[in-house]
Amino acid sequence: MKSRSRTIGAGSVIGEGWQKFATFLTHAGRQQPGREGGFVNMPVERGSTVVFPTVEDMEAQGVHAYDHRLVYGAMGNPVQHRLEQVIAALEGGSHTQVVNSGLAACSVALLAFLKSGDHLLLPDSVYGPTRRFALGMLTRFGVETGFYPPRADEATLRAHLRPNTAVVFAESPGSHTFEVQDVPRIARLAHGAGARLLLDNTWGIGAFQPFTHGVDVSIQALTKYPSGHADVILGSITVQRQEHWQALRRAAIELGACGAPDDCWLTLRGLKTMAVRLAQQARSAYELALWLESRPEVAHVRHPALPGCPGHEIWKRDFTDASGLFGVELVEGITQEAMVAMLNGLNLFSIGASWGGYESLVLPTSGGLTRHHEEGLPKGAAFRIQVGLEDVADLKADLARGLDGLSS
């Protein structure tokens, strides 16, 4: 479901792109009332064992394991199947597999398309747990992993590809350093080398249509904006081609990957309000980012909608909106210890590693990032901001008190 495009300029408002998107989400996944009416939301059905009238009926249903049909609890449940339909439509794909976390979405997708002897190519800005999974379990399984600069030009990216490169992974923007990647170019080079392109599209949910830009597999941490209330851990993997669905679904069944009914139901509920939450959070984040750019304590604000952010022109070309997550790098001379003391003293920003919920968060991003290439690493003390639903004036005042303390 593609939202209406908009451009950033004088007087423009981040968040306009979510208007038609809101109509889709309000109606997707709802119950269709029967002749006598019914609840607007589908019920939660919990269960493990599915029983059948006869052995013949059970055997007949078993052939539908790839069809989002009720076969066994570990292969999916009714509310999971409904959520998968909504996410597939939202991402522009044909099939979605829901799994128990965002990291599980990354790992199941990688296991579905890699085998011993293959080469995996990750962006250096990739989500830390994805890097850890690749260098840990995939290494033990005989998969070699390489890392490319997230904003690599064509020649550099070609140099990182190998004859046995089976998967190129992208994450745009990076969730700590916010480099926007040229996904269509990466897709062209990956496909030319016989590899598939997997994308962690969590930041760009609803604002970036992966399959129109050459992506083969799109990954979402539904924990973030779809659930939206910091109380669910869930992930999804979406594909468009039947051959990719066969490989993905086979891997999910073999790994026992599925979503709990209550988590799927809460995420379906969260999706109903995601467009209005994202519109507000995107507007507030953009306003806050502009304000932070004017502060003397701030060297760089890494928000893709700002012209100074790496990949801003690509963001304008490929995205229809933004989210509420961005980074801040402080000027030289402000120490990591001073920044941590400032973050500890904030009142409205909690300190936490997740994002996409209703609450504002901060997280240090300097001193703990692992990179194979120097490109993109902050030169000074840096932190990440997740903007929630609080009044942006109150968030500014809270940050202003902390930044004033740094100056003094």
Cα–Cα distance measured from residue 169 to residue 66, given in angstroms and rounded to the nearest whole number: 25
Burial level of 7, CB count in 10 A (0-12/13-18/19+)? exposed
Q: What pLDDT does residue 35 have?
A: 63
3-state helix, strand, coil split of the chain in percent (to 5) is: 40, 15, 45
- Furthest-apart CA atoms within the chain: distance in Å: 78
Which residues lie closer than 8 Å to 179 by C-beta, 6 or more apart? 123, 125, 150, 151, 172, 173, 310, 311, 376
Reported as half-sphere exposure (CB side, CA atoms, 13 A), residue 132 has a value of: 6
What 3-state DSSP class applies to 365? Answer: coil
Which residues lie closer than 8 Å to 279 by C-beta, 6 or more apart? 15, 16, 18, 19, 22
Q: What pLDDT does residue 33 have?
A: 65
Both tokens assigned to 5: 């495009």
Backbone conformation region of residue 336, classed left if phi is above 0, alpha if psi is from -120 to 50, else beta: alpha
Q: What pLDDT does residue 40 have?
A: 83
pLDDT tens sequence across 266-300: 999 999 999 999 999 999 999 999 999 999 999 99
Nearest to 219 by CA among 167, 280, 161, 143: 167
Cα–Cα distance measured from residue 36 to residue 13, given in angstroms and rounded to the nearest whole number: 44
Cα–Cα distance measured from residue 193 to residue 188, given in angstroms and rounded to the nearest whole number: 9
Distance between the two ends of the chain, CA-based, in angstroms?
A: 49
Which residues lie closer than 8 Å to 102 by C-beta, 6 or more apart? 202, 219, 220, 221, 222, 223, 224, 233, 234, 235
Burial level of 347, CB count in 10 A (0-12/13-18/19+)? exposed
Both tokens assigned to 32: 């269709």
Q: How far is CA 384 from CA 34, 87, 152, 293, 362, in A?
A: 48, 27, 23, 14, 6
Q: What pLDDT does residue 370 have?
A: 73
Q: What pLDDT does residue 348 have?
A: 98
pLDDT tens sequence across 9-21: 333 445 666 567 8
Which residues lie closer than 8 Å to 12 by C-beta, 6 or more apart? 6
Q: What pLDDT does residue 14 have?
A: 58
Q: What pLDDT does residue 5 have?
A: 40
Q: What pLDDT does residue 36 have?
A: 65
What global pTM score does this model have?
A: 0.92
Which parts of the chain register pLDDT below 50?
A: 1-13
